[in-house]
Structure 1
Amino acid sequence: MTTHPAHPAARSMTTTPEGLLWEPSERWVRGRKGDVTVVDSRHPVLVWEPGLPVPQYAFPRADVRTDLLRPAADPPTGTHTGSRIFYDLVAEDGEVRPNAAWTFPADDLAGHIAFEWFRRTDTGLDHWYEEDEEIFVHPRDPHKRVDALPSSRHVRVEIDGQVVADTHAPALLFETSLPTRYYLPREDVRLDLFEPTDHHTGCPYKGTASYWSWRGEADVPPNLVWTYPAPLPAVAVIQGRLAFFNEVVDITLDGERLERPETPFSGMLRKASRRR
């Protein structure tokens, strides 16, 4: 048995003095800019920065097309846990993507390079793959679970006292560290009370969502209803169903009014309501 010379010894999650958490991943990961493969690694590591809920990949330098990187012309400060070494990506067609890659200031991760994900920051690489499946937004967290289950529970949704959805056929989506989301059949939602928007978001576990906003005068944020028209296979049961942000509507489950949860989305939703 051989060990990749640039890969840290396999072990459980490790904390660095800088507060980074990291662990080796056994997934084959590739990143591309256009048709050019910039990263091709069978020995990536997952890195969690303090205060960020999602991981990032870092790769042994030998697995990176370093010939496409040059020291950043205008490196940022105060980002990525004190990182000081950043690189601009100079594509073969001459396009420059500033600060597309960096190194973490930790001895454990010496010799590793991390990349931004283009669809999140408008820099970095265009496409990422774990094995042969394209992934989006950020790497999937191996310590996070997402389950979508059909149910016969009774779910009622109200906005400012008005019932906007009522069903006995929801699909419940359970996601680690987030409240249960209730995906409701379209025919059980008063979509005439909402209007579609051009807002879209991506999720590495579910796919790409499209949104609706409330037509009325209630103090609620825009884009409070969403659907996944073509979800990833693991959560296919939510296809075409509609979900509401529990944080800003009133949900009654089997006759019990649920408290509005406080989540990482709560602050964003409150700010969006004030801008209306």
Structure 2
Amino acid sequence: MTLTAGRGPLSADPAGWFTPALADGAVFAEPHPRRVVAVQAGRTVIDTEDVVMVHRRGHPLRYAFRPDAVGDLRGTPVAEAPGYVHVPWDAVDTWFEEGRELVHYPPNPYHRVDCRPTDRGLRVTVAGTVLVDTTRTVVVFETALAPVLYVDPAHVRVDLLRPSATTSYCNYKGWATYWSAVTDDAVTDDVAWSYPDPLPESRAIAGFLSFDPARAEVLAELPAAAVGADCGCET
């Protein structure tokens, strides 16, 4: 997630607006005062605190570095950050920011996850079978994404769920595991996901389940502005 994705301020469909309007193709670049380390074949090839973060519409969030910090790695000059170059994510084996290993792309310094206990109702039906019907939920508000309800497995027909081989990663919640529903010998793949060991900012939903409205009939009491918006599922 970046300023350019979801309904972020630099996305193609921002939730808010700039006054005066922002020019098309605007790019936001800023100093990112964190230690970034890259490892290739067991050798540290980047280790620097002189980093620029580049937010560009239609592209994942990117780091930019001084050329002398990247050594022999291939770097492309960044027009919006003179004197800095971009190194492709797959040019190295592993990236770290401070002590955290990164997956897919850098974490966005403007991204926030708020998990709040709530009495918003959630009813989930798969192939005519009710898996969830409760008002004891947790609502997750995540920057530039529609809010999502999670539920304690104690309120779910977990006897009808079985683990899937699917996994995904979120820079703000961690590794997700997926669950398929088995009802009357019919299998609905990846109908739900959960974070068994989430990152610290998302501990409140550890082991809780959320359901994919594209794969199940999901009736969730969410803020009116969120109806029909991207659910923010990790797929």
Q: Same fold (TM over 0.5)?
A: yes
Report the residue type matching 1:174 in the other structure: F
Q: 1:148 aligns with which of 106, 115, 118?
A: 115
Aligned residues: 214
Which of 59, 62, 69 is residue 63 of structure 1 equivalent to?
69
TM-score, length-scaled by structure 2: 0.75
Are 2:55 and 1:48 aligned?
yes
Alignment equivalent of 1:26, drawn from 17, 30, 33: 33
Distance in structure 2 (CA, Å) of the matches to 1:131 and 1:125:
17
Q: Which structure carries more relative contact order (alpha carbon 8 Å, separation 6+)?
A: 2
Change (3 A) 1:20 1:104: farther
Aligned pair 1:157/2:124, yes or no?
A: yes
- Which has a greater percent of strand? 2
Residue 86 of structure 2: aligned partner:
113
Inter-partner Cα distance in structure 2 for 1:184 and 1:151? 10
CA shift for structure 1 position 108: 3.1
The within-5 A match list for 1:39-188 is: 39-52=46-59, 54-66=60-72, 69=73, 87=74, 102-104=75-77, 106=79, 108-116=81-89, 123-188=90-155
Q: Please give the root-mean-square deviation of Cα atoms over the aligned residues, in Å.
A: 3.5
In 2, Cα distance between the equivalents of 1:16 and 1:61? 29
Q: Which of 170-179 and 230-239 deviates more?
A: 170-179
* Cα gap change, 1:172 to 1:159, in 2 (>3 Å): same
CA distance in 1, matches of 2:151, 2:28: 37
Amino acid at match of 1:57: Y
C-alpha deviations, 1:229-261, integer Å up to 9, x for none? 111111111111111124544333459999863
Find the structure with the greater CA-based Rg.
Answer: 1
Decide which moves more: 190-199 or 220-229: 220-229
Contact 1:183 1:241 in 2 (8 A): yes
Contact 2:40 2:94 in 1 (8 A): yes
Distance 1:162 1:257 in 2: 26
Is residue 251–residue 258 contact of structure 1 (8 Å, CA) maintained in 2? no
Which letter does structure 1 place at the counterpart of 2:201? A
User: Which of 219, 226, 230 is equivalent to 2:193?
Assistant: 226
